[in-house]
């Protein structure tokens, strides 16, 4: 029914116009929404502003830094040398030479603790072993260490000391694993010529989308072996790992225990049985691997490397789902941007961002808690070191005294265990913090092995090695595998 005084046609015309306007508005709104969706999809394909186009052949971090100046500025700061109570290093001046152009080095651990020379007698580490420095120094410190002059190091060492992804691909004609195999058997000096940079952006990031990735063949094969031991077959780390796992795996590419397998010097992570100290020891025993024969005792011993990944996996942070990057590369705000801090360093130098995100206590309280853990570990480590040195000297004396070979062999076998267990904690760069109870448990076992070794040298010894437990004795309790 029309309003009084208005023609029916006029009312109908207004209705048509209103519908048209509403339709136009709806169409414009839908179009704007679709355009916005398309723009966001394009932004997802291009999540950062590109100054240069990156590809899978650019190893120079300075080029990547043109697109990511904030991260690159942080990366350059890994040249810093700053001590914590039980880690880091002091910058010591030295006079450069033609053989070693470094003007700054870290302090010698051998001078800090001469017992290490006894522990590693006959091995290159007894010649030169210094406190750790940042990632920026990792290639030059390996290139110019005195260890290069006392042993023929293979190209395998480059795996964790340089940006090897592109050199591997070139050597293998596009095949990463084949290139890895070719570089392993090269002399170190020859392999070193193929590498220009220490660890770089390309080693952890896909240049097309910046996603984290694992590029080290040692870890690719090692994590697959570990997962297989846990019942997960054919694990492909770059396809199957979660993002949070990758924030640990990219660090675990190098911060691990490893050895050079066979005449091919293939870098191998001894994880086929698991990553606890007992499982790794069992692997080495079955494999028959020995790093060297101890100069003083004649024991066939092992050198632990830097098993941060293995130790971390036994600790509370791993069990709680905390990744390496959460503490060593915590997020920070730069203006309106949230970025991961690429100044990789000890969390104790960055407590506010590294620790207080989760732990709501003062910086002083958190530092005190961490240093208490480390001090207790260090004290136990010193007891284990004294026990091992005592055992080594006792075996040495037993040899001179003409003790029976089976007696010496038993003591040497216990030295092999005592030494590897102690070195597992000594070489791990957290002084127990990554897994404090596990570290002290390992050191306690080392002390026990050393004392059992001393007992084995005594007349009428009745001690038994762990593999020779009396019938009915309970088996030792070992921790669970990796998180």
Do 341 and 372 reside in the same domain of the chain?
no
119 within a domain of the structure (yes/no):
yes
Residue 482 inside a domain? The answer is no
Which pLDDT value is given to residue 380? 98
Alpha helix segments (H runs only) across 164-321: 165-171, 176-184, 188-192, 217-229, 237-240, 243-252, 277-287, 308-312, 316-319
**For residues 292 and 123, is the Cβ–Cβ distance under 8 A?**
yes
Q: Which is higher by pLDDT, 42 or 240?
A: 240
- Tens digit of each residue's pLDDT (9 = 90 or more) over 145-190: 999 999 999 999 999 999 999 999 999 999 999 999 999 999 999 9
Domain count, the chain: 2
Same domain (yes/no): 66, 208 = yes
Q: 374 near 434, Cβ under 8 Å?
A: no
Instruction: With beta carbons less than 8 A apart as the criterion, state whether 222 and 309 touch.
Output: no
- For residues 422 and 294, state if they share a domain: no
Indicate if 328 and 420 belong to the same structural domain: no
pLDDT for residue 362 is more than 80: yes
- pLDDT for 110 equals 97
pLDDT (tens digit, 9 = 90+) per residue, 111-130? 999 999 999 999 999 999 99
Distance CA 62, CA 201 (A): 9
Q: Pick from 138, 137, 131, 82: which is nearest to 349 by CA?
A: 82
pTM of the model: 0.86
Does 321 share its domain with 413? no
Per-residue pLDDT, 468: 42
Answer whether residue 336 is part of any domain.
yes
Predicted local distance difference test score (pLDDT) of residue 35: 79
Q: What angle do CA 183, 248, 370 make, to 5 degrees?
A: 120
Q: Is residue 247 part of a domain?
A: yes
Give the 3-state secondary structure percentages of the chain, helix then strand then coil, rounded to 5.
Answer: 55, 5, 40
Q: Does 314 map to a domain?
A: yes
Three-state DSSP at 197 gives coil
As a whole number of angstroms, the distance between CA 440 and CA 273 comes to 22
Domain contains 171: yes
φ, ψ of residue 87 to 5 degrees: the values are: -165, -175
- What's the pLDDT score for residue 478? 40
Residue 473 has pLDDT above 80, yes or no: no
Residue 45, pLDDT score: 55
Q: Which residue range(s) make up the domain with 234? A: 61-346
In the prediction, which pLDDT does 40 show?
Answer: 63
DSSP 364: H
Same domain, 324 and 421: no
Find the DSSP H helices in 323-469. 324-328, 351-354, 363-401, 405-426, 436-456
> Using alpha carbons only, how large is the chain's radius of gyration in Å?
29
Looking at residue 92, its pLDDT comes to 93
Q: pLDDT (tens digit, 9 = 90+) per residue, 77-103? A: 999 999 999 999 999 999 999 989 999
Integer Cα distance of 376 and 378 in angstroms: 5
Please check whether residues 184 and 287 belong to one and the same domain: yes
Burial of 454 (0-12, 13-18, 19+ CB in 10 A): buried
Give the integer Cα–Cα distance in Å for 386 and 383: 5
Can you spell out the DSSP letters for 16-41?
Answer: HHHHHHHHHHHHHHHHHHHHHHHHHH
The verdict on residue 328 lying in a domain is yes
Last residue of a domain, one of 346, 380, 395: 346
Angle between helices 436-456 and 405-426 in degrees, nearest 10:
160
Is pLDDT at 476 greater than 50 in this prediction? no
The yes-or-no verdict on residue 38 having pLDDT over 60 is yes
Last residue of a domain, which of 346, 376, 399? 346
Report the alpha-carbon distance of residue 429 to residue 270 in Å, rounded. Answer: 19
pLDDT over 70 (residue 464)? no
pLDDT band at 21 (very low <50, low <70, confident <90, very high): confident
The CATH number of whichever domain residue 456 belongs to comes to 1.20.140.10
The answer on 169 and 121 residing in a single domain is: yes
39 vs 151, more confident = 151
Residue 300 inside a domain? The answer is: yes
Among the candidates 346, 381, 399, a domain finishes at 346
CATH of the domain at 281: 1.10.1130.10
Same domain, 309 and 430: no
Q: Are residues 238 and 103 in the same domain?
A: yes
155 in the same domain as 186: yes
Do 302 and 384 have their domain in common? no
């Amino acid at each position: 029914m029309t309003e009084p005084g208005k023609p029916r046609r006029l009312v109908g015309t207004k209705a048509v116009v209103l519908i048209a306007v509403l339709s136009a508005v709806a169409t414009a709104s839908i179009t704007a929404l679709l355009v916005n969706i398309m723009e966001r999809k394009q932004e997802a394909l291009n999540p950062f502003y590109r100054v240069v186009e990156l590809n899978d052949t650019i190893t120079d971090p300075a080029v990547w830094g043109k697109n990511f100046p904030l991260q690159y500025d942080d990366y350059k700061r890994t040249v810093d040398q700053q001590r914590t109570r039980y880690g880091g290093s002091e910058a010591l001046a030295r006079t450069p030479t033609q053989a070693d152009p470094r003007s700054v080095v870290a302090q010698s651990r051998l001078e800090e603790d001469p017992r290490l020379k006894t522990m590693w007698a006959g091995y290159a580490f007894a010649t030169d072993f210094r406190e750790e420095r940042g990632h920026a120094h990792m290639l030059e410190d390996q290139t110019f260490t005195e260890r290069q002059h006392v042993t023929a190091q293979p190209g395998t060492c480059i795996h964790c000391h340089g940006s090897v992804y592109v050199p591997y691909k070139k050597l293998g004609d596009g095949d990463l694993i084949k290139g890895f195999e070719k570089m392993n058997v090269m002399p170190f000096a020859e392999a070193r010529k193929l590498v220009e940079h220490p660890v770089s952006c390309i080693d952890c990031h896909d240049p097309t989308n910046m996603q984290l990735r694992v590029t080290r063949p040692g870890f690719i094969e090692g994590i697959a072996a570990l997962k297989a031991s846990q019942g997960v077959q054919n694990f492909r780390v770059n396809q199957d790992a979660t993002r949070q796992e990758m924030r640990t795996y990219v660090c675990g590419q190098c911060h691990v225990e490893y050895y050079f397998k066979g005449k091919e010097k293939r870098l191998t992570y001894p994880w086929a049985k698991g990553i606890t100290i007992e499982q790794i020891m069992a692997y080495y025993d079955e494999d028959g691997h020995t790093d060297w024969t101890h100069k003083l005792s004649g024991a066939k011993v092992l050198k632990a490397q830097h098993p941060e990944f293995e130790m971390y996996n036994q600790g509370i942070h791993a069990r709680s789902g905390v990744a390496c990057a959460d503490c060593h590369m915590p997020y920070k705000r730069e203006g309106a941007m949230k970025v991961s801090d690429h100044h990789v360093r000890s969390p104790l130098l960055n407590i506010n961002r590294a620790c207080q995100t989760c732990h709501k206590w003062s910086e002083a309280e958190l530092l005190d808690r961490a240093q208490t853990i480390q001090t207790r570990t260090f004290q136990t480590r010193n007891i284990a070191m004294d026990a091992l040195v005592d055992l080594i000297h006792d075996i040495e004396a037993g040899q001179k005294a003409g003790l029976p070979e089976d007696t010496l062999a038993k003591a040497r076998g216990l030295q092999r265990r005592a030494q590897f267990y102690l070195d597992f904690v000594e070489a791990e760069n957290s002084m127990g913090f990554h897994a404090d109870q596990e570290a002290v448990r390992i050191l306690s076992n080392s002390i026990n092995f050393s004392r059992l070794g001393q007992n084995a040298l005594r007349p009428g010894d009745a001690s038994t090695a762990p593999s020779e437990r009396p019938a009915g004795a309970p088996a030792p309790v070992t921790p669970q595998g990796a998180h």
